Amino acid sequence: MTSNTPNTFKLGKDLVVNRLGYGAMRLTGQPGNFGPYSDWEAGEQLLRRALELGINFIDTAEAYGPGFNEEIIASALHPYPENLIIATKGGINKPAPDNIQADGRPESLRNSVEASLKRLKLERIDLYQLHRPDRKVPFTESIGALAELKQQGKIRHIGISNVTVEQIKEARNIVEIASVQNRFSISDPTNIDVLNYCTQNNIAFIPYGSLGAHPLKRGAPLANAEGILADIATKKGVKPNQIALAWLLHYAPNIILIPGTTTISHLEENIAAASISLTSEEMEMLNQVK
Ligand SMILES: NC(=O)c1ccc[n+]([C@@H]2O[C@H](COP(=O)([O-])OP(=O)(O)OC[C@H]3O[C@@H](n4cnc5c(N)ncnc54)[C@H](OP(=O)(O)O)[C@@H]3O)[C@@H](O)[C@H]2O)c1
């Protein structure tokens, strides 16, 4: 039996997202995703190719660069096609490659939204995500600020990232939450409770590190996987990392993928994962991978 997975998810009940998207974070200076991407033109080409291949969901953040990642998206793709959804995030200050500080103060979030609107050349951000809760600021205050920005029309939908189920519930008491972005992959199912809660409540779940990568290191650990992942990949004539992505797409219909890459060949490989069908037997076998 082959299980079919839907190609799209309706984010916030109105934005039709192709479930295989793109995470742009690595189009920044290295190390530390800091500064402008060293080959700006190649980065622009990759972004344009992503759209040609059918991607309509791009994830970025103010903290990537900082600022430069949003700028390269605008310089490559603006004026944007109507169906393109750019998801950005705020709530982190990054004054140096190895200095990342949460800043969830309402005033900081208001300033960050204005700055992202300017860099992205948008009048409204389709999905604005709180990058991570700030322990120094009551979570409800950060969410309240985003709710106000939504009311003012600067944000269409609100997402949250690096959160617990309790925090999602707390946020939903204040405003509708359209998406949650936590780390999750076939090799790291730590956030399974958060994913399950999102699936039950029809909230988009956007796993980061879907290829198992560490955000500050290069390379996808699953690319050379051994065991079940590699066996199924060999049988189907594809790469293990493609099976890892296909597994996620089959796992739950509210999962939207944002694998990150700096090369067009990897981009093409990752997108092709959306066409891989896994049988229920294969899914059962893959569910054992940790
Ligand atoms: N919310 C958060 O706190 C948070 C944290 C981290 C990341 N994110 C988001 O999640 C996105 C993805 O995260 P990520 O880039 O850290 O992890 P990832 O998607 O698991 O892996 C990306 C790494 O895998 C390599 N890769 C990609 N496709 C490949 C392929 N087909 N074959 C072999 N290697 C491949 C890339 O190298 P190449 O460039 O050589 O392809 C890159 O080093 C980011 O862009 C960002 O938008 C969010």
The tens digit of pLDDT for each residue in 208-236 reads 999 999 988 989 999 988 899 999 999 99
Nearest-CA residue for atom 27 of ligand 1: 261
Cβ–ligand 1 contact at 162 (below 6 Å): yes
Tokens standing for 92?
A: 């982190």
Domains assigned to the chain = 2-221+244-276 (3.20.20.100)
Give the residue whose CA is nearest to atom 42 of ligand 1: 219
CA angle 43–61–190, rounded 5-degree value = 105
Would you say 249 and 282 are in contact if contact means Cβ atoms under 8 Å apart? no
Sole residue written with tokens 């594809």: 238
- Residue at token pair 């090369």: 263
Quick check: CB of 200 below 6 Å from ligand 1?
no
Q: What pLDDT was estimated at residue 1? A: 39
Pairing state between β 92-96 and 22-23: unpaired
Tens-digit pLDDT profile for the chain (290 aa)?
345 689 999 999 999 999 999 999 999 999 999 999 999 999 999 999 999 999 999 999 999 999 999 999 999 999 999 999 999 999 999 999 999 999 999 999 999 999 999 999 999 999 999 999 999 999 999 999 999 999 999 999 999 999 999 999 999 999 999 999 999 999 999 999 999 999 999 999 999 999 999 988 989 999 988 899 999 999 999 999 999 999 999 999 999 999 999 999 999 999 999 999 999 999 999 999 87
Ligand 1 touching residue 59 (CB < 6 A) = yes
Ligand 1 atom at shortest distance from the alpha carbon of 212: 20
- 94 close to ligand 1 (CB < 6 Angstrom): no
Ligand 1: distance of its center to the CA of 58 in Å? 13
Which residue puts its alpha carbon closest to atom 31 of ligand 1?
266
Instruction: Specify the pTM.
Output: 0.98
> Ligand 1 centroid vs 180 CA: distance in angstroms?
17
CA dihedral (146, 104, 212, 270) positive or negative: positive
* Furthest CA-CA distance within the chain: 54
pLDDT of residue 4: 67
- Residue nearest atom 34 in ligand 1 by C-alpha distance: 220
